[in-house]
């Protein structure tokens, strides 16, 4: 190790994709917001000759406890193994991660965890320049072929326009503050499986799926302007268009559609799934406050929370 630190900390943000999930994997633009919470990691020089990882919930309940030995083992240990491999020091580390968002529901828990962990390990080993590669290696374990949008939001925060065409393009979106309501409408789902589902539809329906991805990308581009201008009714309409395309790509569910419908009936200007779909979270556009949508969701059995982005 090139420094004498024996304990280091890092944090990473969860995210909310406002526009463009799935199509972003095919090089189309997307808009993402980093959330104020995500994951916190503490890395310590290990007491034994193998690394360990302990994963805790926000209320300090241990969700998993692993010895990290098998690079091809279950994803949590394998992702930490992939992170450690990116650093020259390669010394054993005891890692403690606290997740402040639920896992697998579209809020970018894996990227938040990877950024928090890679930052902590980078500081422990005195190799901060390896952090981005380490996060990418971890995301590949969870997602197979990640677009990089979750990694960017987890690292940078703020509201960001993102596109990975021939080269990666990322720019902050200066928008007035905007209140959103978020709820978990369905169970956790695997991002890799949902990305695979879209890929299978694309293999069968080629051009039709290309049209849908193009539509989603154009929606994200137009929405970037509407967000900058604070034109919330247009942003809401574009959310509806984006959600319709995600339904056509096959990644929505009955519960997600029902939660979107409930939000609109309670006054939201728009509602859509966020992230990979197949379950997980929905968000609604509530510029005048999220209370009514949150109450309607609660009545229907969905717990939600309010978040402010932009500004």
**Where in the sequence numbering do the catalytic residues fall?**
150
Q: Do 106 and 274 meet the contact criterion of CB atoms below 8 Å apart? A: yes
Among 24, 53, 101, 209, binds ligand MEV (CB under 6 A): 24
Between 25 and 235, name the residue whose CB sits nearer to ligand MEV.
Answer: 25
Beta carbons of 13 and 34 less than 8 angstroms apart: yes
Residues in the chain: 311
Q: What span, in angstroms and rounded, lies between the C-alpha atoms of 90 and 127?
A: 11
- Dig out the tokens for 31 from the structure: 């808009």
- Residue nearer to ligand MEV on the CB measure, 108 or 236: 108
First to last CA, the chain: 41
Nearer of residues 186 and 232 to ligand MEV, judged by Cβ: 186
Q: Phi first, then psi: what are they for 103, rounded to 5°?
A: -90, 140
Token pair 């310590």: residue: 44
Q: Using CB under 6 A, pick the residue from 8, 18, 25, 273 that binds ligand MEV.
A: 25
Restricting to residues 274-293, name those near ligand MEV by CB under 6 A: 275-276
Of these, 178, 195, 226, 256, which contacts ligand MEV (CB under 6 A)? 195
In the complex, what is the shortest distance from the CB of residue 148 to ligand MEV, in angstroms, rounded to a whole number? 7
The least CB distance from residue 174 to ligand MEV, in Å, is: 23
Q: How far apart are CA 228 and CA 151, in angstroms?
A: 23
Q: How far is the C-alpha of 267 from the C-alpha of 223, rounded, in Å?
A: 20
As a dihedral over the C-alpha atoms of residue 146, residue 82, residue 37, residue 291, rounded to 10 degrees, the angle is: 40
**Contact status: 29 vs ligand MEV (CB under 6 A):** no
Binding test (CB under 6 A) with ligand MEV, winner from 79, 98, 147, 184: 147
Q: Which is nearer to ligand MEV, 21 or 127 (CB)?
A: 21
The answer to whether residue 18 forms part of the interface with ligand MEV (CB under 6 A) is: no
- Give yes or no for residue 113 binding ligand MEV (CB under 6 A): no
Would you tell me which residues interact with ligand MEV (CB under 6 A)? 17, 21-22, 24-25, 108, 143, 146-147, 149-150, 191, 195, 275-276
């Amino acid at each position: 190790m090139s420094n004498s630190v024996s304990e280091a900390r890092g944090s990473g943000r969860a995210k909310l994709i406002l526009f463009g999930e799935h199509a972003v994997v095919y090089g189309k633009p997307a808009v993402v917001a980093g959330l104020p919470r995500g994951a916190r990691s503490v890395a310590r020089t290990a007491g034994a000759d193998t690394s360990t990882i302990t994963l805790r919930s926000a209320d300090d309940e241990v969700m998993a406890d692993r010895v990290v030995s098998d690079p091809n083992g279950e994803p949590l240990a394998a992702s930490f193994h992939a992170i450690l491999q990116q650093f020259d020091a390669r010394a054993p580390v005891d890692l403690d991660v606290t997740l402040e968002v639920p896992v697998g529901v579209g809020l970018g828990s894996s990227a938040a965890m990877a950024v928090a962990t890679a930052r902590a390990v980078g500081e422990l080993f005195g190799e901060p320049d390896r952090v981005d590669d380490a996060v990418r290696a971890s995301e590949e374990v969870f997602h197979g072929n990640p677009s990089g949008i979750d990694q960017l939001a987890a690292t940078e925060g703020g509201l960001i326009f993102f596109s990975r065409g021939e080269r990666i393009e990322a720019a902050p979106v200066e928008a007035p503050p905007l209140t959103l309501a978020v709820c978990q409408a369905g169970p956790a789902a695997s991002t890799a499986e949902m990305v695979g589902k879209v890929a299978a539809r694309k293999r069968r329906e080629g051009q039709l799926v290309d049209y849908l991805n193009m539509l989603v990308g154009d929606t994200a581009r137009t929405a970037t302007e509407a967000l900058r201008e604070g034109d919330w009714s247009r942003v809401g309409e574009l959310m509806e268009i984006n959600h319709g395309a995600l339904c056509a790509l096959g990644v929505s569910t009955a519960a997600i559609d029902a939660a979107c419908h409930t939000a609109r009936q309670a006054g939201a200007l728009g509602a859509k799934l966020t992230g990979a779909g197949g379950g997980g979270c929905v968000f609604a556009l509530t510029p005048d406050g999220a209370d009514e949508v949150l109450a309607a969701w609660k009545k229907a059995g969905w717990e939600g929370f309010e978040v402010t982005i932009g500004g």
